Structure 1
Amino acid sequence: MQYIRRHWQGECSLAWGFWVNLVVINLVASVILHLPLTFGWIENPVFQSRWTLIYQMVWSGLVFPWQIVGLIRAAYRVWADEHQRIAPILVFGVVLIVLAGFGRTMKLEMPVYQELWSFSFQPDPMADYRITVLRDKPLIHVTGFFGFGMTRELEAVVEGLDDPTAIEGIILDSGGGRLYEGRALADVIEQYEWDTYSAAGCLSACPLAYVAGANRTLIRGSLLGFHQYINPTTQVPLPVDAADYRVDKEYYLDKGIPYSVVKRMFEAEPGQLWVPTLSELKESTLVHDFVEIDSVLPNDYRERLYQPVREAANSQLFFATGAWLNANLHRNHVHDLWKQRVLNGSNFDVAHAVKQYLDDWAMQAAGGVGDYDLARLMEALAETIDRLLVNNPQKCLQVLSPERFGKLDYRTVTTEAQWKTLSDLFSRMVVKSYGPVETLDPATYNRLAYRLSERFGDDLRYLNATEGDDFNSTERCRVFSRFLRELLAMPNGQGAAFYRTMRANNSAS
């Protein structure tokens, strides 16, 4: 304490204050900061961040002010009492440079420190996981992203079982997560000598744990995926020579994975994914066996897994209709939605994915629906477009090109009666999507198409536009509404038949 007080009051010699209390102490402090990180004494990234953050707070808030204030006071004492000029001036210059550098560094690194604070002391936003012990099989199922604390929670679950040794394997379904947790989970799997499985997919950090399995099984339809790593605090890609790559490459090689495969694991950029083929998985011994889902996940357990996704999907109009139209196809869609939800996290938009299925159904349905229903649908669409042209022209483009301008929620732009009509028509279309398609003969279709082209003239460019100003213009809506009404005016239901044939041709192409 006496030494600290003497420097603070400027009583130490100027040379000692500069060379020892500034230069040497900074070097020693830098070693103290980096030594535990370099030699792996602190492996947990959260503790690493806390160590770095606490060090910077202590150094910036206590040590650095103590160094600078003491040095300035010592230089002033030498200037005033000993009447020396050169040494104090040099010290004052160095202090100004150090202060300027310190200020610039703090300004540049403040976002990093803010991220370190969030990383160290706030809940992990990636901790989107669930741990389930299966009732009918000696297996544990882990779904979702590996967040900090997951492995510790898993160990607590296992130790809380009546017989922890009864667990024979673990099912890993994850889109990735924290590398530290992937490695820690691998240690637990090796400790208990578990087999590993995957039903939905195992990506990024997840394969680190999957490869630790004594026997590695992939359920058909699942996948393994690999890519480069990112820094968890700065969210920038790690350099190719980063220690994480060296450690994990050695790990995979020790597991018997060929070097050529290990090399490919880290070639895909963070936003991309390398997914080995079935033959590559088998030949590289990444996977030992492939099985059907029924042999691993009991049907009643799968139903519980699917329930949240099924409820979200069935809330979308017409999706539930598929359950009685084609039960197998509907079940496959639900399973696919569950897989996407697991691999993409809780932010996965089930509704958007469901609409893609409905678009496929509707494209087929336009060819199969009867003339009367199709004419009613065309009339309802024309009325909707006309109304949008008056009230909200930009939204009418969502009717024509939802893939470019976004899906239109028709309930927000129609009356209750109009919405009921549209709902009924779309339901009929979904039903008809499983039936035969009746189209016009080519000669009749071409004759009607030629007649329409004469009527529309230069306006045809709006109907045929796929990009550019014509595509983005609300004039497309006006022309398309006129097009529908021209079809409706054709005698003997030819307009509906023409529209059905046109949609069927588009679907085929």
Structure 2
Amino acid sequence: MVWNIHTVVRYLTGHWRGEHGFAWSFWINLVLIRILVLVLQEWFRPEKRQDFHEHQVLVLLLALFFHGILFVWQAVGVIRAAELYGRTSGYMAPVWGAQLVLVVAFFWVMTYTIDAWHMTRPVPDNLGIQSALQAERAEKYSIEPTPDGRSLTLNGSLELGITGHLKHRLKSYPDVKQIILASTGGNIYQARGLSNTIRQNGLNTLVMSECSSACTTVFIGGIKRQLASGGKLGFHQYRIDADYAVLNADPLREQERDRAIFLQSGVAAWFLDKMFESQPSDMWYPELPELIDAHVVTDVTPYTNDQ
């Protein structure tokens, strides 16, 4: 049979009227054509990290035709063919079966319609977002060498990535012997990473201004822990204070972990009991004799804040 425009129109009209027979309408005009449409959609799916945003109108028009107009044509023809078969054969089961299949097919088609729409949405630049977040966090702290190159001054919030930054700095400045801390806290996991790094490299810690909250965990990693005249250490109970989700975080469990770290560093148990009694909103700044007696501070330096 030679296919021309008139033949196509007759074929489309014949199915619409239910004249092709139930089996042909169901298996060919519905099942086979629908499978071909879905296979084509999968075939033309954009590559990973790509999208069809620049061709949004075309994609949505194609989705409207194949998942809208074409599906309505398929469904109407199958229903009419099933009804005609039921009237001539006396069996209604095909009618009910066809209706059930069409309900399932409808939801299937809707899924692919939404999928086609998602293909037109701009793919987020995850790498760019991650880089921007890292840059934003890096602006909240600094790790700079002193003029003699024998100390690194860590100043600011303890953000994600700061442990790696410190390790990189230590490679660049191999003569560093101590870390000068000036921080009001931050991420406790990063604080532990910094503390371990300091301990593993045999470095001392020095506070000339303030080191409070999670910063004290960093401070306790020092082999020799020094407090300058005018410097202070602040302690409080743990809490979750982050602008991002911290999965499976339990402040009490984290306190116990750091309690073990402080005990291993020689800090007195009575000091830790008092340390975790302070509410997060009420920072506790122990006096110097108390810090020395509890072995939190092991040495007092002659430095002052304006040196």
TM bucket (normalised to shorter chain) is: 0.5 to 0.7
* Gap change, CA 1:221 and 1:180, over 3 Å in 2: same
Shift in Å, 1:232: 3.9
Residue in 2 that maps onto 1:364: none
What is the aligned partner in structure 2 of residue 271 from structure 1?
Answer: 281
Relative to its length, the structure with more strand (as a share) is: 2
Partner of 1:209: 218
Aligned equivalent of 1:142:
154
SS in structure 1 of the partner of residue 257 of structure 2: helix
Q: What aligned pairs does 1:301-380 form with structure 2 within 5 A after superposition?
A: 302=307
Contact (CA 8 Å) 1:127, 1:146: kept in 2 or not?
no
Which of 205, 209, 229 aligns to 1:196? It is: 205
Distance 2:292 2:147 in 1: 30
- Tell me the TM-score normalised to structure 2 length: 0.52
Given the alignment of the two structures, is residue 227 of structure 1 paired with residue 239 of structure 2, yes or no? no
Q: Secondary structure at the match of 2:206?
A: strand
Secondary structure of the corresponding residue to residue 200 of structure 1: strand
Q: Indicate how the Cα distance of structure 1 residues 280 and 154 shifts in structure 2: closer, same or farther if over 3 A, else same.
A: same
Shift, 1:120, TM fit: 11
2:235 is matched by which residue type in structure 1?
F
Are 1:158 and 2:170 matched, yes or no?
yes
What's 1:252 paired with? 262
Does structure 1 residue 172 correspond to structure 2 residue 184? Answer: no
**What secondary structure sits across from 1:154 in the alignment?**
helix
State how far apart, in whole Å, the 1-side matches of 2:213 and 2:229 are.
Answer: 19
Q: Post-superposition shift, 1:175?
A: 1.0
Q: CA 1:147/1:235 → structure 2, altered by over 3 Å: closer, same or farther?
A: closer
Q: Equivalent residue for 1:307?
A: none
- 1:284 counterpart residue number: 294
Q: Which structure is richer in relative contact order (CA contacts within 8 A, separation 6 or more)?
A: 2
For residues 228 and 263 of structure 2, what CA distance do their matches in structure 1 show? 24
Q: Post-superposition shift, 1:221?
A: 0.6
Deviation at 1:141, TM superposition (A): 0.8
Query: Contact 1:130 / 1:144 at 8 angstroms: preserved in 2?
Result: yes
- C-alpha displacement of 1:227: 0.9
CA distance in 2, matches of 1:264, 1:231: 20
Structure number with greater Rg is 2
- SS of the residue aligned with 2:142? strand
Contact 1:217–1:290 under 8 Å retained in 2: yes
Q: Which residue number corresponds to residue 481 of structure 1?
A: none
Q: CA deviation at 1:240?
A: 7.9
Q: Are the structure 2 counterparts of residues 126 and 154 from structure 1 closer, same or farther at C-alpha, using a change threshold of 3 Å?
A: closer
Q: Is the CA contact (8 Å cut-off) linking 1:127 and 1:147 kept in structure 2?
A: no
Partner SS, residue 279 of structure 1: helix
Structure 1 segments, 4+ long, off by >2 Å, are 118-127, 232-236, 238-242
Tell me which residue corresponds to 2:25: none
Gaps of 5+ in 2: 1-95, 98-128
Percent identity over the alignment is 28
SS at match of 1:242: helix
SS at match of 2:279: coil
Deviation at 1:267, TM superposition (A): 1.5
Per the TM alignment, residue 218 of structure 1 is displaced from its structure 2 partner at its CA by: 0.3
Q: Secondary structure at the match of 1:148?
A: coil
- CA distance in structure 2 between the partners assigned to 1:202 and 1:182 by the alignment: 12
Check whether the contact 1:126–1:146 (CA below 8 A) recurs between aligned residues: no
SS of the residue aligned with 2:263? helix
3-state SS, counterpart of residue 193 of structure 1: coil
How far residue 222 of structure 1 moved from its aligned partner, in angstroms, is 0.5
2-structure distance, mates of 1:229, 1:126 = 24
Partners of 1:150 and 1:239 in 2: how far apart? Answer: 20
Find the aligned partners of 1:235 and 1:122 in 2 and give their Cα distance: 11
**Aligned partner of residue 255 in structure 2, secondary structure:** helix
1:218 aligns with 2:218: no
Q: Per-residue deviation at 1:268?
A: 1.5
Relative to 1, partners in 2 of residues 1:206 and 1:241: Cα closer, same or farther, differing over 3 Å? closer
Q: Tell me the residue number matched to 1:128.
A: 140
Residues 137, 160 of structure 2: 8 Å contact kept? no
Letter in 1 for 2:151: L
Counterpart of 2:170, as a letter, is V
| Structure 1 residue ranges without an equivalent (≥5) | 1-79, 82-117, 303-509
Q: Deviation digits for residues 371-422 of structure 1, max 9, x if unmatched?
A: xxxxxxxxxxxxxxxxxxxxxxxxxxxxxxxxxxxxxxxxxxxxxxxxxxxx
The Cα shift of 1:147 comes to 1.1
The size of the alignment, in residue pairs, is: 178
Aligned residues: CA RMSD: 2.9
Match of 1:201, SS state, is: strand
| Residue-by-residue CA offset, 1:163-211 (whole Å, 9 max, x unaligned) | x1x2111111111111111100001101110011000111000011111
Find the residue that maps to 2:148 and give its secondary structure: coil
The aligned amino acid for 1:247 is R
Equivalent residue of 1:199, what SS? strand
Distance of 2:244 and 2:280 partners within structure 1: 10
